[in-house]
Chain A
């Protein structure tokens, strides 16, 4: 029987999709909490990507004639803030900021961590010791204080926040990936690859990297929540994403004490959004770690 190439490709695609759906269903049944975390993550991503379509009003539109409207009145589902801006729209666009900072900083943190940690583990010896000492020195600082210190030296800008958080993550990521690479290195297929003459670079990219990916995924899911908390804290202190950008941290800060009597609800909603999203990522990360862990240990 002669199957055209296009038909064969369609068949493969259908099979792949069915297997993915099946794997997701298995995951949801085994780890329902993790599935909830996954749903929250998808919702947050959706809000971030489709913010312009979802938000009922312009998040930056000021209107001093309609300040501090309580939630549920005059068509503002979550009310307006002290400058008349719609809180719901600002929260939806806040997802964009939080997720951008979180994803970008985690990706950069893992990439640089993989570079330093992987290289240190693979080559070992003095290079390993030096890199480890430097990482330990950086890790001595609490994440927030290190982030503060870095932002102190940089101009206040969303990309600098990403850089600051990535730097904070790098040593921890490097350490975890270093132990992962150390255990992967002991496998026989690495020896075999070296025996047939693979270059170091080729071994690192083709053999070590895919196996370390599971560890990287777990690190990523845990750090996403932490990144959002750090960004929120920095913005709350006025050193992170600068206003009027609707970062959830900014929104909690810009409304608190002065308007506590008139509008105590203002810091409530951005905080709920942030807590819920961090909770989702945390719970998803825990579930992923449980699922991928036995495979981490398998040789």
Chain B
């Protein structure tokens, strides 16, 4: 186990290199002149003169050869220097440090809410297969799979504004300072985002439980006269959890994409919002940094899921 961990951690570095190279190339290889876009602004109406273009290019370091640019960027990142925002000149790293915990909190809250709803729901659906509760739950699940996150979030926001006279708070209250306000702010985007996650996990739980419950050892458990709850939870659910954990891990990437949307709708000052604002205002330094942060988060979560999977299933061996 320890060997597997160290090997995965060592692989982290080249993977990060590959990812950073990809992001770097993405920003530079795609058609369109970055300097032009920065000057022209989001509506394309800014004034663009050749002199101004040169200034912007020098400021962005675009006039240097590609490999020099890349090395400067990567070595900067190693020193936690992600450059300065093109909008207000402040260091990007400071903004990231400020906003990262917020996005992480939103992601964790979403995962907790989504899983807490999905696993019981999927289990009920499986145990009472083809009954009315099963059909109702399945319809709700199908809607959750097809409904766009931004739509659910918008509807939740409008519902809150229109029917409960609630406005998104202007200032963010950190969790350790004011837990009540913080949860009031965060629970709605987390719930909206959790709907889709819950739909995916519930569907997986249902099919996994259905498969497990047909196994011989479950029949033995029923035959032994064990209580329903013991059979379902201690024997069936435990074994059904393996594919569910994999799915949750895979869905985490989708979840991160969703936080971008939810943070925009509910004015949550997280990294997702930073990224979207950065793109809108062509703040390339921020955009690059934001994407690298997302990539790092996903790599860490993937590693954690792999380890968790091995812990749950003693049959998995780490060669």
B23 close to A278 (CB less than 8 A) = no
Q: Compute how far the CA of A157 lies from the CA of B153 in the bound complex, rounded to whole angstroms.
A: 25
Closest CB-CB distance, A245 to chain B, in whole Å?
15
B145 close to A282 (CB less than 8 A) = yes
Closest CB-CB distance, B74 to chain A, in whole Å?
15
Q: Compute how far the CA of A147 lies from the CA of B197 in the bound complex, rounded to whole angstroms.
A: 20
Q: Compute how far the CA of A260 lies from the CA of B15 in the bound complex, rounded to whole angstroms.
A: 45
B39 beta carbon closer than 8 Å to chain A: no
The stretch from A15-23, A55-63, A79-87, A137-145 touching chain B is A137-145
**Given A141-B253, A151-B279, A271 and B147 touching (CB < 8 A)?**
yes
Q: Which of A105-155 contact B (CB under 8 A)?
A: 133, 137-138, 140-145, 148-155
Chain B, 37-51, contact with A by CB distance < 8 Å: what is the 0/1 string?
Answer: 100000010000000
B26 close to A153 (CB less than 8 A) = yes
Query: Residue of B at shortest CB range from A279?
Result: B146
Taking a contact as CB atoms closer than 8 A, the residue among B157, B254, B258 that contacts A260 in the complex is B157
Q: Compute how far the CA of A239 lies from the CA of B145 in the bound complex, rounded to whole angstroms.
A: 23
The stretch from B98-106, B207-215, B238-246, B287-295 touching chain A is B287-295
B150 close to A233 (CB less than 8 A) = yes
Q: Compute how far the CA of A154 lies from the CA of B253 in the bound complex, rounded to whole angstroms.
A: 23
Number of interface residues of A (CB under 8 A): 43
**Which B residues are in CB contact (< 8 Å) with A229?**
148
A143 close to B22 (CB less than 8 A) = no
Chain A, 189-222, contact with B by CB distance < 8 Å: what is the 0/1 string?
Answer: 0000000000000000000000000000000000
**Which B residues are in CB contact (< 8 Å) with A153?**
26-27, 30, 32, 34
Q: Compute how far the CA of A236 lies from the CA of B261 in the bound complex, rounded to whole angstroms.
A: 9
Q: Compute how far the CA of A238 lies from the CA of B277 in the bound complex, rounded to whole angstroms.
A: 10
Query: Residue of B at shortest CB range from A262?
Result: B162
B147 close to A239 (CB less than 8 A) = no
Q: Compute how far the CA of A152 lies from the CA of B38 in the bound complex, rounded to whole angstroms.
A: 11
Closest CB-CB distance, B114 to chain A, in whole Å?
16
Chain A, 249-292, contact with B by CB distance < 8 Å: what is the 0/1 string?
Answer: 10011001100110010011001001110110011000000000
Closest CB-CB distance, A134 to chain B, in whole Å?
8
**Given A144-B257, A237-B261, A275-B147, A152 and B279 touching (CB < 8 A)?**
yes
B161 beta carbon closer than 8 Å to chain A: yes
B154 beta carbon closer than 8 Å to chain A: yes
A282 close to B146 (CB less than 8 A) = yes
B143 beta carbon closer than 8 Å to chain A: yes
B202 beta carbon closer than 8 Å to chain A: no
Q: Which of B120-178 contact A (CB under 8 A)?
A: 142-143, 145-151, 154-155, 157-159, 161-162
Chain B, 253-269, contact with A by CB distance < 8 Å: what is the 0/1 string?
Answer: 11011101100110000
A274 close to B23 (CB less than 8 A) = no
Chain A, 154-175, contact with B by CB distance < 8 Å: what is the 0/1 string?
Answer: 1100000000000000000000
B residues at A contact (CB < 8 Å)? 15, 18-19, 22-23, 26-27, 30-32, 34, 37, 44, 142-143, 145-151, 154-155, 157-159, 161-162, 253-254, 256-258, 260-261, 264-265, 275-276, 278-280, 282, 284, 287, 291, 294-295, 298-299
Q: List 24 A-B contacts (CB under 8 A).
A: A142-B294, A143-B257, A145-B256, A145-B294, A148-B275, A149-B26, A152-B278, A153-B27, A154-B31, A229-B148, A238-B280, A239-B279, A249-B148, A253-B150, A256-B157, A257-B157, A257-B158, A261-B162, A267-B154, A271-B148, A271-B155, A278-B146, A278-B148, A279-B142
Q: Told that A142-B253, A256-B265, A275-B143 touch, could you supply 11 new A-B pairs with CB distance under 8 A?
A: A137-B22, A149-B23, A154-B31, A229-B148, A239-B280, A252-B150, A252-B151, A256-B157, A267-B151, A267-B154, A282-B142
The 5 closest A-B pairs by CB, nearest first: A144-B257, A271-B151, A279-B146, A142-B257, A142-B253
